[in-house]
Structures are given as C-alpha cells and as structure tokens.
Amino acid sequence: MKLPIYMDYQSTTPVDPRVLEAMLPYYREGFGNAASRNHAFGQQAHEAVEEARAQIARFINASEPSEVIFTSGATESNNLALKGIAEMYRERGNHIVTSQIEHKSVLDSCRFLESKGFHVTYLPVNQEGLIHLKDLREAMTQKTILVSVMHANNEVGVLEPIEEVGKIAKEHNIFFHTDAVQSVGKVPFDVQAMEVDLASISAHKIYGPKGIGVLYLRKRNPRARLESIIHGGGHEGGLRSGTLNVPAIVGFGKACEIAAKEMNAESKKIFALREKLRSALLERLGDIYVNGSLEQRIPGNLNVSFAFVEGESLLNEMSEEVAVSSGAACSSAALEPSYVLKALGVGEDRAHTSIRFGLGRFTTDEEVNYTIDRVVKVVKRLRAESPIYQSESGREFT
C-alpha cells in the first residue's frame, strides 16, 4: 500500500490503464482531425469517434448514436441543455423546475436564465436528500418547458427518483433533463426506462480522461431540440462547434465499454468497502452522523459529520496520508456551510464538521483499514483538545 490513499472518487477518478491504452494511438499515428474526411488520417479519426459514440449510446440505451453529443464535460453539457432548451422553446413557456441541491453548473445556469426573464422553481428536499414528487407535480404550470433533476448528488450521493420524475414530465409533455455525472457507471442508467430526454455525463467520473463529456439528446418521442450556445464550424450536428478531442472521445467510449461489463460486480465490491468504513467509524467513534439516505445512494459515497471536529482541521491533519474532501465549500471570503447540507436541514455546526469519503474501482481493503484507523485517531485527538466536546459530547448535534 502506498501513501497517500485516494478517497475522493466523487471528485474525479484515475484513468483506467485499459482506457489509456486505447487512447494512446490517437495521440501518435491516428492524430487526424475527425472533420477532415477527405484523407485517410481524418477518416481514421472520424471512425474512432463514431465507434466511441456508439459505445456510449449502447451503455445508456440511447435509440441511436447520433443522440450522443460530445462536449468538454458535464458543466458544458448542463449549460447547453438548460440554455439550449430555454432559448429554443421560450415561445412555448418560460418556466423551469429544478432542485435546491443541483450541481452549481445547473443552479448558476438557472440564475442566468432568471436574469433573462425565465422563472425557476427550486424544489426542496427532505432530510434524506430526496425531492417530493408531490412538490414536483404542484410546481408544474402551463408555461413549464423543462424539469432538471440530478440522478445522484455529488456531495451526499443520494439517488433521486428520476424514473418517476421522467414519467411525470412525460405526462405533462415537458422535457426532462438529468445531470447523471455521479450515477453513470455506478448504478444502472437507461434513458428509455427512465424517460430521460437530455442527460449530462462526464468521462473523468468513470475512469476516463478529463475534458470530455456528453449531452444525450433524445431525437424521438419527443424530439428535443436545442439552440446552440457555441458557434463556428457546425460540429456535432451544429450543436457544439469545435475540433473534436479524438483521443479523449476514444477513452470515453472505452470507459463505457468497461463499465458495461464490470459495473455490477464492481458496485457490490465498492458497496461492501463503504459499509466496512461506515460500520467501523460508527462503532469506534461516537457523535457521528451520516448525511443523506443510505438506502437510495451510490455505492461509493459516504458523507459523514463528526460532531465537535472542524471538517477543515480533520482534512488538514490527514492530507498527506488520506485524500478526502470537506462537505463545506470554500468561498473567496469565508468558509460557508455546504448549500446541499443546508437544504437537507443540517445545521451550520454539523455542516462544518462533514467529510465526504469517495471509494472507487481501485480502492483496496487495506486502504480502507488504514483510513479507518487514521480517521479514528485524528478525531479522538482533535476532540480531546476541544473544551466544547468535553462539556457537550452526547447531546443531539444538528
């Protein structure tokens, strides 16, 4: 076992060696521009792109490969989905429904659209991190053109009931977009079964390269059309201009091919390791709380609040040995509680003590054991130095 240990798989994942092997030829002899199909170099690149497009389409059960639009990543995909639908269908309506715990690329896109005259409803979530379908139904109006609800949350890993969301949107003839970045490759994701019209996916969350993403765009029943937000060249059906990143696209396709074969077994292994981590921390430390639903959750996520221990202090103490992330987001001015945890009803004190553990494909049993021992040791020492803990340990921490 080597230090430091990587426990931040929701942030990004290492490139699988098999993915890298598939990519390397397209940095060397297969370096052609996929848009230059008048010679062999460009034709080879084009064929590689289309094979990867087909691999991704099969993985998410798209009706046809052309429904897969390549982008620079999920942030661009989310922007293209929300702004593209809003501009294309603004004569039909100006209302969008989303949730309070979406990724910032969705929330900030919604804020931008509000500045352009659109109205946005931000659905609350319960203490488990789940939206209420009743709230969704009540939020819809005759002017609603889009519902955007993420599949899995990036902080707490909670899986939203998007199959039901898709059915409700379909009943009202409203387009449904989901940010599926944290769920694809970890749990089953089927755009047909879930009645998804648009979906954002990123390669670097599933052991592919950074800088490449996908927007799935349904072409039939119903056909979703977008107004382009990047112009110049007409690539990707005119929806996203720019020279295609062929090696990264090939890597994305390979990552999906691997996930299709190995996801079920891999998820069981990761779930077992996560439960080992959770059980040991609960057993060996008091005053800790798991944030978000344990039943509706991706296998490798564990978001825990350690009462009476500042999350940043815990991170700093472990940074050279165990790489995890804090549940609190740093702004330029001050450390503020995570908006996701606040939406779950988590109090400011508890939000400041939260840590996100992200387990993945290359996490080992030995690494989990080391992480448990290290976390327990550091938490106990930090609490021992805290006069507040000495007087208030055992009280309900909210």
* 351 within 8 A of 307, measured Cβ to Cβ: no
> Alpha-carbon distance 251 to 56, whole Å?
11
Of 3, 282, 294, 330, which is the active-site residue?
330
Contact yes or no for 311/291 (Cβ under 8 A)? no
Whole-number Å distance between alpha carbons of 11 and 172: 35
CA–CA separation, 302 and 388 (whole Å): 26
Are residues 109 and 78 in contact, defined by beta-carbon separation less than 8 angstroms?
yes
Is 330 catalytic? The answer is yes
Q: Which two tokens stand for residue 57?
A: 């389409």
Question: What CA–CA distance (Å, rounded) separates 294 from 278?
Answer: 11
Q: Peptide bond before 4: cis, by omega within 30 degrees of 0? A: yes
3-state secondary structure of 174: coil
- What's the distance, Cα to Cα, between the start and end of the chain in Å? 37
Residue 211, phi-psi category: left (phi > 0), alpha (psi -120 to 50), beta (remainder):
left
Q: Where are the beta strands (DSSP E) in the chain?
A: 5-6, 68-71, 95-99, 119-123, 144-148, 175-179, 198-202, 213-217, 288-290, 301-306, 322-323, 325-326, 329-330, 335-336, 354-358
Active site residues: 330
